[in-house]
Amino acid sequence: MTHYLLAGGGTAGHVNPLLAVADRIREREPESEVLVLGTREGLESRIVPARGYELLVVPRLPFPRRLGPGVLRFPGRLRESIAMTRAYVRDRAVEVVVGFGGYASAPAYLAARAEHVPIVVHEQNARPGIANRLGSRLTRSVGTTFAGTRLRHARVVGMPLRREIARLDRASARAEALALFGLDGERPTLLVTGGSSGARRINATVSSAVSILLGTGWQVLHITGERDETPDPGLPGYHVVRYCERMELALAVADLAVSRAGAATVSELTAVGVPAVYVPYPVGNGEQRLNARDAVAAGGALVVADGEFTPEWVARLLVPLLEDRALVAEMAARTAAIGTRDGADGVYELIREALADGR
């Protein structure tokens, strides 16, 4: 029996791979204890307990990026978080700490180092965050999703995917997917999604250009996001969904996707062989464009800047692509060739190696 502490959270990009690894540990070692370190404010506060894992919390502690009062308070607050985490490690007899980035990971790495507990780091994005850059200096057990991620001791292990995606049989799930979304089995499907909260630029452009998209003979499954108010014009072949609880079924029926380029989205699409037009989120440090780099290089995806994704761009470039079914099929084969479904296994093996080496 092993006692694991998995640290991360804040966004789905950190929580979902953490839970995928937690589930894999539970499958392989049902007698072991898996604890999760996160914050009360993050997505993990709701999702982790619902999945059956105990959540241990530390204060949400953003790294100050400019001068101000927060810079002066940060060292003391960090020491408090490290002390809390060290107490968790000792009291729960934690034997290995696995970090996925986010607010909880930095104190977890530093607490593990102080308690002489092995550390494992997994970085989802092509451009690593601050916490994982720190973690990679404290261990040689570092896994990444993408080959181009620059971290010390990095080894490509892939993205830990949700069980529903990792084990998706698209052919077997197709009939259920068609029925769920009310789609026509004789028409190819363009999946449009900006994530659970939606993407304003993607939604506005597709909504404006939907008539010419439908004119190609394709149907459109448009997942707009819970908070979006994109109208549904009721056009035949245009299916608007605010929130999709069965994303694996959307992937099962998709022949091409238009989406943001978050690490999880890129990993899921490549894993199941869905080519894509990626519209990277324009705010941040540019990691989304880098996340799509391998898929583009393989010939399985296109990238268009957020500001350039307009109805005019759709008419000029996306419509001709939809009309070239052979090219779309070739892109699907190319993206499937670089996809992987065993990221959770890769992280699990990295963890077991760290435990065996005691590092």
DSSP 230-268: ------TTEEEES--S-HHHHHHH-SEEEE---HHHHHH
**Total number of domains in the chain:** 2
> 251 is written with which tokens?
């992937």
- 89 and 203 assigned to the same domain: no
> What residues have CB less than 8 Å from 212, skipping those under 6 apart?
311, 314, 315, 319
The pLDDT score that the predictor gives to residue 95 is 97
| Distance separating alpha carbons of residues 327 and 184, to the nearest angstrom | 22
* Whether residue 229 sits in one domain with residue 152: no
CATH of the domain at 244: 3.40.50.2000
Say yes or no: 217 and 107 in one domain.
no
Same domain, 300 and 346: no
How high is the pLDDT of residue 60? 78
77 and 57 in one domain?
Answer: yes
Do 83 and 131 sit in the same domain of this protein?
A: yes
Give the per-residue pLDDT at 250. 97
Examine the domain organization and report whether 119 and 186 are in the same domain. no
Co-location of 29 and 95 in the same domain: yes
Contacts of 82 (CB under 8 A, 6+ apart): 107, 110, 111, 114
Range of the domain at 215: 168-338
Same domain, 264 and 351: no
Q: Tell me: do 297 and 245 sit in the same domain.
A: yes
Read off the tokens for 199: 């993407």
Identify whether residues 212 and 124 lie together within a single domain.
Answer: no
Same domain, 203 and 64: no
What gap in Å lies between CA 347 and CA 353, rounded to an integer?
10
pTM: 0.91
Angle ∠(307,311,317) on CA atoms, nearest 5? 90
The stretches in the chain having pLDDT less than 50 are none
